[in-house]
């Protein structure tokens, strides 16, 4: 894929036409949860939204974002690297279709990927052209809508993060709300009613062309095995617009929870409500389930929802202790997923070099450490570093295979002759020998760092 990024302003003859500072977590002591300031613009001001979508600066920003996100080709096979050349030739006609309300999106490509906790997640991959147009629409709508969303909503919003959501939940627990109503919406992205969603969009957008375009994206259909199936409900995950539309749907839930005075955190379709007792939690669970079914026409997944102590549930990969100083822990499921990924890399065929294994692990460990370094259990991160090093030493020992080869390799790496000879003849397995003194000499922590292996403990946030 071509990843060159020349100056965007010179690339396209577009017709005329990052994240900010994170919000502070409110001081909740002795106060009731506040309702977000939801000032909305008049519909009149949105009558020419399509011109804003097609404005040069907005399109330049959208193209830059699509390039940064990269991603797989859609049903037409066109890559991100080919998008600029296509737009140079075809943009005037596409722009005309957008402005007169006749543009027709292509069907999305269905892709199924495994979920961390088991099962499969279905993604709909739009063509790169449709990702570009959706991104341009997203930028216009998000600027108008985001300030009207709840202060308790953290998913897919500029200047907001999963860490902020976890920190707010931790604050609730610290104040004595030591039971959580953990709500999981069943197949949320597949079940959203298009008519109800478009009704909510129409309350905020007067431009009929933009309304037709959003409806067309919802109804674009899905291609599988060469056949196109209609999409009668849902907002397929994979397109830039889907997260914003999901926040619009669930804003109705946020408003209701605020009206009731609940302390809650929502990140996309994950919603946790914090209460003082199990009895209160059961009452809230049943009441909110009824609201979701009746008003949103959605269903709570009973198998994945529960009223429990915070340390028994996970929120965005973390679990929370309770008491006077509740700490953020890495959830057991996240730890098991981490180990499963590392095992996949270190178990591979003997022909894979140590350098290649380290290279494959490095990007994953860096991103994982930056996210889960938000935990408050540094000893767990240090243990994971040691475990990864042991996995790599074990893999290297297996790769040497014969006693003679093992002796030669140990000597080359600075192990004394007597110790190398004893080690080469050892009958113990690779996992046990992975923590031996001689393998610690042959492949030290410093050597692994020099090869480019990151430390997850070093990325802990203080």
Tell me the pLDDT of the chain averaged across its residues.
87
CB 66 within 8 A of CB 135: yes
Residue corresponding to tokens 């994953």: 364
Q: How much is the pLDDT for 117?
A: 61
Cα separation values, 10 from 87, 186, 349, Å: 12, 46, 48
pLDDT at 193 over 90: no
CA–CA dist 314, 312 (Å, integer)? 7
pLDDT more than 90, % of the chain:
70
State how far the alpha carbon of 437 is from the alpha carbons of 175, 353, 446, in Å.
48, 22, 15
Task: Please state, in angstroms and rounded to a whole number, the distance separating the CA atoms of residues 396 and 342.
Answer: 14
pLDDT exceeds 90 at position 11: no
Tokens of 204: 């905020």
66-115 residue pLDDT tens: 999 988 898 889 999 999 999 999 999 999 999 999 999 998 887 777 76
Residue 270 structure tokens: 């994950």
Q: Over the stretch 112-125, which tens digit does the pLDDT of each residue have?
A: 777 666 666 677 88
Question: Would the pLDDT of 16 be above 60?
Answer: no
pLDDT of residue 36: 52
- What is the per-residue pLDDT for 26? 45
Shortest CA distance to 180 belongs to which of 318, 316, 332, 310? Answer: 310
In this predicted structure, the answer to whether residue 335 has a pLDDT above a threshold of 90 is yes
Distance CA 234, CA 242 (A): 9
Identify the weakest region by mean pLDDT among 119-128, 250-259, 271-280, 319-328: 119-128
What tokens were used for 401?
């295979």
Using one digit for the tens of pLDDT, what is the confidence trace for 228-257? 555 655 566 778 998 999 999 999 999 999
Provide the β-strand partners of residue 228.
223
For the chain, the C-alpha Rg in angstroms (whole number) is 26
Q: Cα(354)–Cα(404) distance, rounded to whole angstroms?
A: 19
How many CB atoms neighbour CB 11 within 10 A? 15
Report whether 414 contacts 206 (CB < 8 A): no
Q: Does residue 6 register a pLDDT over 50?
A: no
Higher-confidence residue of 447 and 123: namely: 447
pLDDT of residue 4: 36
What pLDDT does residue 45 have? Answer: 76
According to DSSP, the β-strands at 222-224 and 108-114 are: parallel
Convert 135-155 to b/e letters by CB count within 10 Å (16 or more is b). bbbbbbbbebbbeebbbbbbb
**pLDDT score, position 352:** 83
- Which pLDDT tens digit goes with each residue over 355-370? 999 999 999 999 999 9
CA distance 359 to 372: 20
């Amino acid at each position: 894929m071509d990843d060159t990024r020349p100056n965007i302003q010179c690339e396209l003859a577009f017709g005329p036409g990052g994240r900010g500072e994170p919000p502070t977590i409110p001081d909740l002591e002795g106060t009731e949860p506040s309702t977000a300031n939801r000032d909305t613009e008049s519909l009149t001001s949105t009558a020419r939204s399509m011109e804003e979508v097609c404005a040069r600066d907005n399109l330049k920003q959208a193209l830059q974002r699509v390039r940064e996100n990269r991603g797989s080709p859609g049903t037409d096979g066109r890559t991100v690297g080919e998008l600029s050349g296509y737009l140079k030739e075809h943009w005037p006609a596409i722009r005309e279709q957008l402005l007169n309300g006749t543009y027709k999106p292509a069907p999305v490509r269905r892709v199924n990927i495994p979920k961390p906790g088991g099962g499969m997640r279905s993604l709909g991959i739009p063509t790169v052209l449709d990702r570009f147009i959706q991104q341009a629409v997203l930028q216009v709508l998000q600027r108008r809508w985001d300030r009207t969303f709840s202060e308790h909503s953290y998913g897919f919003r500029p200047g907001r993060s999963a860490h902020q959501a976890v920190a707010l939940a931790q604050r609730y627990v610290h104040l004595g709300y030591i039971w959580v109503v953990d709500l999981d919406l069943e197949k949320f992205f597949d079940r959203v009613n298009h008519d109800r969603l478009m009704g909510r969009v129409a309350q905020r957008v007067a431009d009929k062309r933009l309304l037709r375009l959003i409806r067309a994206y919802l109804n674009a259909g899905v291609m599988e095995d060469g056949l196109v199936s209609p999409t009668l409900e849902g907002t397929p995950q994979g397109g830039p617009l889907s997260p914003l539309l999901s926040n619009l749907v669930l804003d109705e839930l946020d408003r209701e929870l605020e009206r009731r005075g609940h302390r809650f955190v929502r990140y996309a379709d994950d919603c946790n409500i914090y209460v003082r007792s199990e009895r209160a939690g059961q009452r809230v669970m049943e009441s909110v389930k009824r609201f979701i079914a009746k008003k949103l026409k959605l269903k709570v997944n009973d198998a994945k929802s529960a009223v429990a102590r915070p340390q028994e549930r996970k929120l965005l990969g973390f679990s929370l202790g309770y008491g006077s100083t509740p700490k953020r822990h890495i959830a057991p499921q996240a730890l098991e997923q981490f180990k499963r990924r590392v095992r996949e890399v270190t178990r591979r065929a003997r022909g894979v070099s140590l350098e290649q294994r380290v290279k494959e692990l490095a990007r994953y460990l860096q991103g994982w450490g930056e996210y889960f370094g938000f935990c408050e259990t540094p000893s767990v991160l240090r243990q994971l570093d040691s475990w990864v090093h042991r996995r790599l030493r074990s893999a290297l020992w297996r790769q040497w295979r014969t006693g003679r080869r093992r002796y030669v390799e140990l000597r080359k790496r600075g192990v004394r002759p007597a110790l190398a000879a004893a080690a080469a003849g050892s009958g113990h397995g690779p996992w046990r020998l992975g923590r031996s003194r001689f393998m610690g000499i042959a492949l030290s922590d410093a050597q692994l760092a020099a090869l480019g292996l990151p430390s997850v403990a070093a990325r802990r946030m203080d």
